[in-house]
Amino acid sequence: MAYSTGAAATIDLLFSALETFAAANGWTVDESYTVKSKPSLHKNNCYVQFRYDGTSPQAAGRSMGVYQSLGYSGAGTYPGGHTDDSGSGANDQTPPIADSTIDNSRCVYAMGDGPFNYWFFEHDNGTEYYIHVVVEILTGEYRHFGFGLIDKFGDWGAGASGGEYCYGCRNESGITGGDSNFFLEGGNGTVNSENVLSAATMHAEGLPGEPDAATKWLAFFSYQATTIYTANKDRAGVYRARGVSNSRGGPDWTMKGWFKGYAGFTGLIPLTALNVYYLDLTNNRSYLLGTALDIRMCNIAQFDPGEEVVIGSDTWVFFPFTKKGSVGGVGPHFDSYYHGVAYRKETT
């Protein structure tokens, strides 16, 4: 069951479906959504948690926090407090958590309480694995989150480990805004306290030139932001290294297509992989670490949301970052121009 789509009347039922899907594909449900609205999943060394305000639904504006750690500390711990937490996501160990607190951290922004349509994409070849999720929160408006293990390139070197990633969809300041985060970020140029909390993360230890001998995480910002930001730390207060990929920018994105506002792309449309780079700011070097499988950045001017396209033996499903359109804007329900993403649909 590597692919599933359906409808969920509420966020609780969305997680009921996700937990069932994840368990059927080899993930462990450490904690169900029924336990204080803080579900937790893991496979191997990829631990992810979620949190939302289950006591006072805010249908138009409720967000869902997204977390990553290297272990699960038990039902008495709230997301943000689990073993070796990545540092992204609001850490509030006192329930209930305010929606405004979740908003200013890694989250799925302003998704509301349903009803939703959803698409679950999954893959596990025995080495790499992932679950990527698309949620239609309103007609034609979407949110994305995902987690898994990248396809590593080459040998990272003696003592290096990691590759487990997690991302949310925080679209507070629009598709071009510096206070938004999408997928494994490549275009977020603002390295500030909010973005430190909202950045996508990947486990990475033992890489050359990391900012601290105890560093365990990469945090994803724009490759144009080249300073070591003093607040870019995990939950234990250890510096996180800098990662960059190809969402809204990045080294590959800028060479292969203009996704924001141009509607004239026809013929062959570039599909840009989410290749993962580590930026060694100490020695002014970059390292290509691998790629997040089966997800591509693209211009969707010529595609409808949810449209399927067969390329060779693969079927790809296309969606906008948030909402296809040319208006843009700021706020929870802005158009994301023609920024798009394609997921490979695996049915066996």
**pLDDT tier for residue 123 given thresholds of 50, 70 and 90:** very high
Q: What is the pLDDT of residues 280-305, one digit of tens each?
A: 888 888 899 999 999 998 888 889 99
Q: 204: phi > 0 → left, psi -120 to 50 → alpha, else beta; which? A: beta
Percent of the chain with pLDDT over 90: 52
Q: What is the pLDDT of residues 328-342, one digit of tens each?
A: 666 677 888 888 999
pLDDT for residue 36 is more than 50: yes
**pLDDT tier for residue 54 given thresholds of 50, 70 and 90:** low
The lowest-confidence range among 82-96, 173-187, 277-291 is 173-187
Question: Rounded CA gap, 78 and 97, in Å?
Answer: 10
pLDDT for residue 206 is more than 90: yes
**pLDDT at residue 172, rounded to an integer:** 66
**pLDDT at residue 59, rounded to an integer:** 46
Reading the block at residue 272, the tokens are: 């840009």
Domain spans of the chain, in order of start: 3-345
| Bigger pLDDT: 14 vs 113 | 14
Q: Across the chain, what does the average pLDDT equal?
A: 86
pLDDT for residue 112 is more than 80: yes
Radius of gyration for the chain, computed over Cα atoms and rounded to the nearest angstrom: 18
pLDDT for residue 218 is more than 80: yes
Residue 257: how many CB atoms within 10 A of its CB? 18
Q: What is the pLDDT of residues 124-156, one digit of tens each?
A: 999 999 999 999 999 999 999 999 999 999 888
pLDDT for residue 259 is more than 60: no
The lowest-confidence range among 18-32, 201-215, 242-256 is 242-256
Rounded to an integer, the average pLDDT of 189-207 is 82
Cβ neighbours of residue 330 under 8 Å, at least 6 residues apart? 172, 173, 174, 177
Backbone CA torsion sign across 74, 80, 85, 86: positive
Rounded to an integer, the average pLDDT of 12-32 is 97
pLDDT for residue 263 is more than 90: no
**pLDDT at residue 25, rounded to an integer:** 96
**pLDDT at residue 191, rounded to an integer:** 63
pLDDT for residue 258 is more than 60: no
Whose tokens are 């992204």? That residue is 88
φ/ψ (deg, to 5) at 280: -85, 95
